[in-house]
Amino acid sequence: MDSAIPNSNGERHEFYQNVVVLRHGDRIDNFDPDWATTAARPWDPPLIENGRVRAFCTGGCLNSRLGFPIHRVFVSPFLRCIQTASEVVSALCAVDDYLDVSCGDGVAIDSSKVKVSIEYGLCEMLNAQAIRHDVAPKDGDFGFIISELEALLPAGTVDHTAKPVHEELPRWEETVTDTRLRYEHVFKALADKYPSENLLLVTHGEGVGVSVSAFLKDATVYEVEYCAYSQLRRRVFQENQSFIAEDFEVRTKSNQTGVSYCSSIATPNGAMDDSA
């Protein structure tokens, strides 16, 4: 139920909270195999132009198809996710129709519609399965400068007061199991911090997979396309300033929004490959 329902005392309200979990757009190193050999930050590829276009179009689709507003966006610090969030937020906040525009450059926005924050807990799986040893930083320092990344987001949308769930990156060589637990914890923690708001979480392929497999019994995710997304929903009860929430349910059907899953067939390696 989208409308609040008071109890007999007129104080209790009941409503749905929605969380959308989105993968970044097309990354350059999958289209230019030589890119990493000359890149200053080979572990942090940007989007190609088509990736920006895909992200902007996805933002438009979210606007028209979700049926509810997005209030807050949280994004992984990796550049491809920051760029994806920038395009999606531009589309979500656009004040005019943009039928003749393919990306967010120059699009007039209402920055009060959405607030954006960077969340370390949404970062890539930090191990050699997702980031090859030959491109990972040799000193373990991924070199994220938050103020520089925030400057890449649409003007006026960054919420500097929001405190991240994770204050720093996970340790290098975290296991697949630890990564999945991290994603699940961050999804729940962010939802609990903002129980009356709908959230968009911009992350990586493994994160989108966890958003389905952690909340849908016996589900195995075997493909997450660029800019694929899932939708979670839960019922929240508010009484005065206290909130009680039910468990999340997965609202996305397999193959509906770029996420493919089944309930009985396991994948051979166990983890999604975000490099694809």
Percent of the chain with pLDDT over 70: 91
- Which has more pLDDT, 275 or 85? 85
Give the pTM.
0.91
Predicted confidence band at 105 (pLDDT cuts at 50, 70, 90)?
confident
Predicted confidence band at 100 (pLDDT cuts at 50, 70, 90)?
confident
With a cut of 90, say whether residue 273 has pLDDT above it. Answer: no
Q: What is the pLDDT of residue 101?
A: 76
d(C-alpha 29, C-alpha 46), whole Å:
8
